[in-house]
Amino acid sequence: MNAVAPMTNTASLAVETPILEMRGISQIFPGVKALDQVSISLYPGQVTALIGENGAGKSTLVKILTGIYRPSEGEILLDGQPVQFSSAQAAIDAGVTAIHQETVLFDELTVGENIFLGHAPRTRFGTIDWRTINARSRDLLRQLESEIDPTIRLKDLSIAQRHLVAIARALSVEARIVIMDEPTAALSRKEIDDLFRIVEGLKRQGKAILFISHKFDELYEIAENFAVFRDGKAVGHGSLKETPQAEIVRLMVGRDVHDVFPKITVEIGDTVLSVEGYSHPTEFRDISFELKRGEILGVYGLIGAGRSELCQSLFGITRPSAGRLTLDGKPVEIRSPRDAIAAGVVYVPEERGRHGLALPMPIYQNMSLPSLAKTSRSGFLKASNELKLARQYAERLDLRAAALSVPVGTLSGGNQQKVVIGKWLATQPKVIILDEPTKGIDIGSKAAVHAFISELASQGLSIIMVSSELPEVLGMSDRIMVMREGLMAGFYDRSAATAEALVRAATGNA
């Protein structure tokens, strides 16, 4: 870190002149405004914390900064000069580098190859200059206070060491702006301390850092500035040291959420499903709750808290290592999705494309797939019954399609979602698990989905709704379970639940 000295000068000037400034940036996708007139400045030698719920627009901003998206409106100024990041390479050339949540590295390549992949130094003869790669890799890693041998394969490293390699890769290009997208998610406390020492080192080198994290204690430790995003808008920024945590949470959550949701008051009935001590070898432990007839149980938590894994286990995709299930007072064992469907528990997955539908198959065949036992006659498929079933649910869900025999792949996203939901309703379940039911759909459709969820509850279905969106969880749920790092972190009745309490339970900040 000998090269630091001349650069500290720029750091002292920092307060007035940002290295990079984004002004009035909007990003419009069809039907969704992912970013709405946001502005943010990054200063040399300082860490700016970017805070917001899932879906607030943080990732979109990162993608704009790294040249993956081109903003619909607004300008980016680099050292006061307007620039355009027309490609990922252009962003790299301008000195922007990102370390992602899930680092994209290659297991079978060596550490040095990973660091210099795509910009490997060449020898005079145009072949790859291994000596330089390994020497410079060693230097970069040493800057990060690590003695990892550049010639060993990545797969032999620990997660934390891989992170260091990812950071070294980010630094191997002449970066001035470093984006860290939840870099601490997979790290232990000690590794986080090591990472923060590295970040301090980067600060001293005069680099501007954009740091995305959900963990407030870490942010207060490392960041000077903050910017809070909510629903694609920048709702606050300033000096983090002078802003109390309660204020940040208020900015994140923003509004009084209970009124805008079409929650129907439903007579809550008897216990339908009771889960006792459900555990999984790696993903979650000791989860217990009861679900009553007509009840909506919200499950809130950060990404990686084990919520989807719990639901998949309840649906029989993975088997629990311990725990008991009781359905309608009778013990049940769910060992496969087939068992779950037969018992009346269904799961509407988050990624409808990947988990929900066979896109080349017609709508009606997708709808009837889990219900074939019901539509078939003496073991043979009966298309007329399948069509009848599909028609019934297509009407109920207001599905728009030219014909029920067209492939699902030809439908719009919203209509595909309806096919997924229809397919599960057609099994006439008792318990329906909705994983992020409104993720990636526009505001108007969201309201329709919420109304529909309420209607299902009022018809006596019990609903488990996993959601990362606070307003949705608060607005729709009768009770809320918060999960953190695979454990239950809190239970809240509708009347007692506040956004602040949920965020605190989910992030573990007392």
> Do the Cβ atoms of 452 and 273 come closer than 8 Å?
no
Beta carbon of residue 285, minimum distance to another protein (angstroms, whole number): 24
In whole angstroms, the minimum distance from the beta carbon of 347 to another protein comes to: 7
- By CB under 8 A, residue 216 contacts another protein: no
Q: Which of 423, 439, 450, 504 is close enough to bind another protein by CB under 8 A?
A: 423
| Least CB distance to another protein at residue 502 (A) | 29
Count Cβ neighbours within 10 Å for each residue of 186-209 and write b for 16 or more, e otherwise: eeeeebbebbbebbeebbebbbbb
Write the DSSP symbol of residue 260.
Answer: G
x/- map, 242-261, another protein, by CB under 8 A: --------------------
Total of chain residues touching another protein, rule CB under 8 A: 39
Q: Which is nearer to another protein, 80 or 409 (CB)?
A: 409
Find out whether 294 and 266 touch, Cβ atoms under 8 Å: yes
Nearer to another protein, 13 or 359 (CB): 359
Residue pair 507/302 in contact (Cβ under 8 Å)? The answer is yes
**Cα 148 from chain centroid (whole Å):** 31
CB of 351 to another protein, least distance (A): 9
Report whether 375 contacts 461 (CB < 8 A).
Answer: no
Output b/e per residue, 132-158; b: 16+ Cβ within 10 A: ebbebbbebbebbebebebeeebeebe
Residues 16-55 that bind another protein (CB under 8 A): 28-30
**Contact flag: residue 349 with another protein (CB under 8 A):** yes
CB of 83 to another protein, least distance (A): 17
Q: Single out the segment in contact with another protein by CB under 8 A; choices: 46-54, 318-326, 335-343, 463-471.
A: 335-343
Please tell me whether residue 315 binds another protein under the rule CB under 8 A: yes
Give, as ranges, the residues between 364 and 393 that touch another protein (CB under 8 A): 365, 369-370, 372, 376, 379-381
Give the shortest CB-281-to-another protein separation in angstroms: 19
Beta bridge partners of 345: 431
- Out of 43, 116, 211, 347, the residue judged to bind another protein by CB under 8 A: 347
DSSP H helices in 53-154: 58-65, 88-93, 111-116, 130-143
Q: Which stretch binds another protein (CB under 8 A): 2-10, 11-19, 187-195, 331-339?
A: 331-339
Ordered alpha helix ranges (H), 22-101: 58-65, 88-93
Report the DSSP pairing between strands 479-484 and 487-493: antiparallel
358 binds another protein, rule: CB under 8 A: yes
Among 125, 189, 354, 378, which residue sits at the site for another protein (rule: CB under 8 A)? 354
Q: Is 362 helix (H, G, I), strand (E, B) or coil?
A: strand
How many beta carbons lie within 10 A of that of residue 288, not counting itself?
A: 14
Contacting another protein within 223-242 (CB under 8 A): none
**Site stretch for another protein (CB under 8 A), options 106-114, 187-195, 209-217, 350-358:** 350-358
**Residue with Cβ nearer another protein (184 or 365):** 365
Binder of another protein out of 12, 70, 188, 269 (CB under 8 A): 70
Euclidean distance between the first and the last CA atom of the chain, given in angstroms as a whole number: 37
Rule CB under 8 A: which of 397-416 touch another protein? Answer: 405-407, 409-410
Tell me which DSSP letter residue 355 carries: I
Burial class (CB in 10 A: 0-12, 13-18, 19+), 23: middle
Residue closer to another protein by CB (options 111, 420) is 420
Nearest to 418 by CA among 468, 473, 356: 356
- Interface with another protein by CB under 8 A: which residues? 28-30, 69-70, 72, 315, 317, 336-338, 340-342, 347, 349, 354-362, 365, 369-370, 372, 376, 379-381, 405-407, 409-410, 423
